[in-house]
Homo-oligomer: A and B are copies of this chain.
């Protein structure tokens, strides 16, 4: 697992702007945010409603957590901003988007952020509330990618979910269950193997 692409560079750490503050207040805001994001999704949850639910002023929520997106990332315990990871993929050519996407995602999973990613995933699998991770993936991680691959119109969401299925499976088999030899496969080999799958899901014909 000695990928020449330096994972740390490719996976910029989130500057969450966390300030010490009152730990009880912080934690009350986070609990409220988790509940509302899970209930209503990302778009329909406002910083104001989180503040209201936690009994604090909106300004205090911004002070502790920054933007709504940063509040959401803090509430799902994800240390990397997926938008920054996906952005370079969107700039690349469409016929190489599978390979670039595989590399972008694996650059995070092969970085020092791996334990946090695996922990968040395992916790999402075991919880009775899959809504939060669904919101995370569909409304936050994959939102910018959808329009890019919505061809023919209306297929973008399914295409992204098929990509998510292959990537989630890599997470399960390589990082959680640590199947060998898959877990020790050099990351470039893994990218070469799964990139055509992602590319077909993103831009190939779908039987529908």
Task: Name A's B-contacting residues (CB within 8 A).
Answer: 121-126, 130, 133-134, 137-138, 157-158, 161-162, 164-170, 172-174, 176-182, 185, 189, 192-194, 196-197, 200-201, 206-208
A200 contact from B130, B176, B185, B196, Cβ within 8 A: B196
Q: Which residues of B contact A165 (CB under 8 A)?
A: 166, 169-170, 172-174, 182, 194
Question: Taking the full assembly, how many copies of this chain does it contain?
Answer: 2
**Distance, CA A176 to CA B133, complexed state (A):** 11
Contact (Cβ within 8 A) B134 A177? yes
Contact (Cβ within 8 A) B182 A158? yes
Mind listing 14 A-B residue pairs with CB under 8 Å?
A124-B177, A125-B125, A125-B176, A126-B126, A130-B178, A137-B179, A138-B179, A158-B182, A161-B179, A162-B182, A164-B169, A164-B179, A165-B182, A193-B207
